[in-house]
Amino acid sequence: MDRKRILSGLIALCAVCIFPAATYSQSPQIGITAGRARALVAVAVALISLVIGGLALARPAGRIGNGRARSIAALVLGLIGFVIGALVAATANGGLGTGSGLGGALVAMIMGLIGMALGGLALARLHMPSRSDDAATSSIKERR
């Protein structure tokens, strides 16, 4: 299958799952509450971690730093997103749909874990020995 079909299928699946859930709110509060705002910050940080981790895994070196810097940034941002999400989840007063940000916190924690995993995989890939018989331990050349 080509990428366009897979991407359109994932978008359709997300739309089917998300749109009905928006009408089932248990809260009379409409809009962004303080808990939802904190959860949105955590999700944004975790999403940035996912993007940087994916770029570090796909392209070890590029315009934005080298692969090591990207993978470390993905690890750190994933950890920050996870911690902020955990704090929001720990301080949430109500359940899902009450405006306390619990749903966003759980999403941020999952995305932060995935971002940390991508950054860790990219960092581990940099330290793998090359396939040839030379003694290089990294695909990035160090300055001496």
Each residue's pLDDT tens digit, 18-46:
655 555 555 566 777 778 888 888 999 99
52 pLDDT above the threshold of 60: yes
Write out pLDDT tens, residues 84-97. 999 988 988 877 77
**Kind plus residue range of the DSSP H or E element containing 55:** helix 34-58
Q: What is the pLDDT of residue 78?
A: 92
Dihedral, 25, 29, 32, 37 alpha carbons, nearest 10: -80
Residue 76 pLDDT level (bands cut at 50, 70, 90): very high
| Among 59, 83, 82, residue whose Cα is nearest residue 71 | 59
On whether the pTM is more than 0.85, the answer is no
Residue 113 pLDDT level (bands cut at 50, 70, 90): very high
The Cα–Cα gap between 10 and 73 comes to 27
| Mean per-residue pLDDT, 7-20 | 63
Contact call for residues 99 and 33 (beta carbons, < 8 A): yes
